[in-house]
């Protein structure tokens, strides 16, 4: 099993749609979880941390299921500007991170 697995997509959705991304991880000792966003040919930027209780930031909701080693990201009311690659990230050691290959989202008018 790969350390962090994501569906590469692309997910093609119309503006206003709700879209969900999933991610699984193999290291049961991982303590912190994140979603990063990466625009084409740019650096990754932190979108949000993911907590066991679930957390929301505006149109974005992240969920963590430690028992299933599964992380999700839900985007409501998609905007054109949401088009990007979304990276699932988990901690591997004291300060190192493991990145998934990303899921590409394309939002069309």
The residues that touch another protein, with contacts defined as CB under 8 A, are: 4, 8, 31-32, 34, 41-46, 49, 87, 91, 94-97, 99-102
Which residue is associated with the tokens 């028992």? 67
Toward another protein, which CB reaches closer, 69 or 91? Answer: 91
Toward another protein, which CB reaches closer, 78 or 90? Answer: 90
Toward another protein, which CB reaches closer, 16 or 93? Answer: 93
Q: How are beta strands 84-91 and 97-99 bridged, if at all?
A: antiparallel
């Amino acid at each position: 099993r790969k350390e962090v697995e994501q569906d590469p997509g692309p997910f093609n959705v119309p503006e206003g749609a709700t879209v969900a991304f999933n991610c699984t991880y193999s290291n049961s000792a991982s303590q912190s979880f994140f979603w990063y966003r990466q625009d084409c040919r740019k650096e990754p930027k932190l979108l949000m941390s993911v907590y066991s209780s679930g957390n929301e930031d505006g149109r974005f909701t992240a969920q963590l299921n430690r028992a299933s080693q599964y992380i999700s990201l839900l985007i409501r009311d998609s905007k054109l500007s949401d088009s990007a690659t979304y990276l699932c990230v988990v901690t591997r050691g004291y300060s190192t991170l493991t990145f998934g290959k990303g899921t590409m989202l394309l939002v069309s008018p």
